[in-house]
Amino acid sequence: MSRVIHVFRRPERFVAGTVGEPGDRSFYLQAVEQARTISVLLEKQQVSVLAERMAALLEEVARRFGPDEAEQSPGTDLDPLAVPLEEEFRVGTMGLGWDADSQSIVVELLAVTEEEVDESVVLDDTEEGPDALRVFLSPVQAREFADRAERVVSAGRPPCPLCAEPLEASGHVCVRLNGYHQRSPIAD
What is the C-alpha radius of gyration for the chain, rounded to an integer number of angstroms?
Answer: 19
Same domain assignment for residues 97 and 183: no
Same domain assignment for residues 162 and 152: no
> Binning pLDDT at 50, 70 and 90, where does residue 188 land?
very low
Same domain assignment for residues 60 and 144: yes
Same domain assignment for residues 50 and 131: yes
Relative orientation angle of helices 139-154 and 44-65, to the nearest 10 degrees: 150
Same domain assignment for residues 150 and 164: no
* Domain containing residue 12: CATH number: 3.30.2450
Same domain assignment for residues 39 and 122: yes
What pLDDT, in 10s, does the model give residues 76-135?
A: 788 999 998 999 999 999 999 999 899 999 999 999 988 777 676 666 777 888 999 999
What pLDDT, in 10s, does the model give residues 15-72?
A: 999 999 887 899 999 999 999 999 999 999 999 999 999 999 999 998 988 776 555 5
Cα angle value 35/37/39 (rounded, 5°): 175
Same domain assignment for residues 117 and 180: no
Q: How many domains does the chain have?
A: 2
**Strand ranges for the chain from DSSP E:** 5-8, 13-19, 26-33, 36-42, 87-99, 104-111, 132-137, 172-173, 181-182
Asked if 55 and 146 touch (Cβ cutoff 8 Å), the reply is yes
pTM of the model as a whole: 0.82
Domain with 165 in it = 158-188
